[in-house]
Amino acid sequence: MIKNSIGEIESQVLWNRLISVVEEQAQTLIRTAFSTAAREAGDISAGVFDRRGRMVAQAVTGTPGHVNSMARAVGHFLDEFPIDTLKPGDALITNDPWKGTGHLFDLTVVTPTFHRGKAVALFACTTHVVDIGGIGQSPAGKQVFHEGLQIPIMHLAREGRMNEDLLRIVRANVREPVQVAGDIYGLAACNDTGSARLVEMMQEFDLADLEELSDIIITRSRQAMADAIAKLPRGSWTSCMTIDGFEAPVELVGTLTIESDIIRVDYTGTSGISSFAINCPLCYTDAYTAFGVKCAVAPWIPNNAGTLDSVVVTAPENCIVNALHPAAVYSRSIIGHMLPDIIFGCLDQALPETMPAEGTSSLWNLSLVAAHGLTGRADEIRTPFNVTTFHSGGAGARPRIDGLSATPFPSGVRNVPVEVTESITPVVIWRKELRVDSGGAGKFRGGLGQVMEVSNREGSPMGIYHRFERVRFAPRGRAGGKDGALGRLRLQSGKELSEKGFYVVPAGDRLIVEMPGGGGYGAPTERERDLVQRDVDYGFITASEAEQIYGLKKS
């Protein structure tokens, strides 16, 4: 075997190996994580970078929000600490929303890998921690300063010694100090796992550095993206969508331009920033835009610097998808999750009959709390708790098949079992079922939302941080398909709640959460009659909807 240059077969084997190394790094992180966002939803990221800070391989994890943001983060770390100033045993950390992955809850750790006395690569990983201090999980923060502790890019460890000063500050500022510190150790440890595996690989294949392999992987991926883009029609298309927003509706406007080997997305025309925490830093906008493009254009190409460079995202400063410091950004996912719908709206014009209808898109997580000062005084609350369970409405119908019911898109989270939530809190979930007539009617029906009914069995008040979307503006159908049903939030006793804020459910009452359905695709009258009848028999639609909207004749 020739050793000075990497052969074709060898480079393919090494590429596979690198992907397996970062998957291992990611699994280690998920299995040791504390916050539900990380451990149930896989809201983490892991990847390996070359000396120049280019991402060579990334694990496919639960949520695409880190796809591009973490990839770019390593560049910011290297700007502050050039690679040859780093020593074995060093690790760097930040939670800067603009240099990391979009909000203070995400901690990113970067660790150099040394081989034959030289830094040959960097491992980076990100996880969503349980708490970061400040106003907590509320979307009502006005400035990033309200949202908790800010850690600028700095050393987490120097030559194997943890930065105890930093850890003490972290412990003093967060509500769950042991768990957060545990997650920080987990981040450092999973990078070490990745580094060890990489060094083993380099020894086995007698590689002095990663540069040649990194060039091969990035060049080939870049070329594959270019080839995929070259097959698309050239041109420019604009799509807009109105969503609920916080203090006022938000207009999202995107213009997608297909050039010879690159896709540009520009968000000029989008609403300005909010006074509340639904603002989105550009790195996070970049991540969900790239994800939407990749799903539509080239889902099979592994993520790395080569693929990510094929999508160029721009937005005017201080519009809601390019919010600048000191805007509050905690709930940036509300905006980010909507962006693939904008991409699909543009591509539907370029490539008709290939893009799904709009879906619920934003998650319908229930963040429930009973705590001093929030739901009552300490002496009135029997069991304090603070829990987030992940749930989703319906996804949009696809051009050939129905939308997925109660399934997230673009996020890739999974739910938390009802029995698990109830075993760690006094919460009782009385009902969790598919919501009839919520899927947008169409030749292909939108996915159904779901209904949940929740109470506190201890007869005490229970708070909910609500950060919901599609309550005032529905997910739209496509190609003649009808809109999905609007979401709705109310009390059993009758009161209707707004879609965002913090509300205390009175003792003894129940919260009823009705999640939106996905938009339909194609005219409902074109739906196969057998399927309409099946939907009636299954209780997915009512007989009256079948008759009035689908035009099903009574048999």
- Cα distance between residue 501 and residue 488, in whole Å: 14
Q: In terms of CB distance, is 209 or 458 closer to other proteins?
A: 458
Q: Least CB distance from residue 201 to other proteins, whole Å? A: 11
Q: In terms of CB distance, is 180 or 250 closer to other proteins?
A: 180
For 390-447, list the strands marked E by DSSP.
427-434
**SS3 state at 121:** strand
Q: Least CB distance from residue 523 to other proteins, whole Å? A: 21
The token pair that represents 341 in the structure block: 């719908």
Q: Least CB distance from residue 64 to other proteins, whole Å? A: 7
Q: Least CB distance from residue 4 to other proteins, whole Å? A: 15
Q: In terms of CB distance, is 344 or 502 closer to other proteins?
A: 344
Q: Least CB distance from residue 414 to other proteins, whole Å? A: 4
- Cα distance between residue 535 and residue 391, in whole Å: 23
Q: In terms of CB distance, is 22 or 315 closer to other proteins?
A: 22
The letter for the amino acid at 33 is A
267: closest CA among 214, 313, 223, 329?
Answer: 313
Cα→Cα distances 330→33, 223, 243, 363, 390, Å: 20, 36, 18, 14, 17
Q: Would you call the peptide bond into 316 cis, given omega within 30 degrees of 0 as the criterion?
A: no
Tell me which DSSP letter residue 376 carries: B
Q: In terms of CB distance, is 76 or 527 closer to other proteins?
A: 527
Q: In terms of CB distance, is 150 or 542 closer to other proteins?
A: 542
Q: Least CB distance from residue 359 to other proteins, whole Å? A: 10
10: buried, middle or exposed (CB in 10 Å: 19+, 13-18, 0-12)? middle
Q: Least CB distance from residue 434 to other proteins, whole Å? A: 5
- Cα distance between residue 535 and residue 530, in whole Å: 9
Contact 6, 212 (CB under 8 A): yes
Q: Least CB distance from residue 502 to other proteins, whole Å? A: 23
3-state SS of 222-286?
HHHHHHHHHCCCCEEEEEEEEECCCCCCEEEEEEEEECCCCEEEECCCCCECCCCCCCCCHHHHH
Cα 110 from chain centroid (whole Å): 20
Strand pairing report for 263-266 and 311-314: parallel
Q: In terms of CB distance, is 270 or 460 closer to other proteins?
A: 460
Q: In terms of CB distance, is 244 or 341 closer to other proteins?
A: 341
Q: In terms of CB distance, is 281 or 410 closer to other proteins?
A: 410
126: closest CA among 88, 96, 168?
Answer: 96
Q: Least CB distance from residue 253 to other proteins, whole Å? A: 22
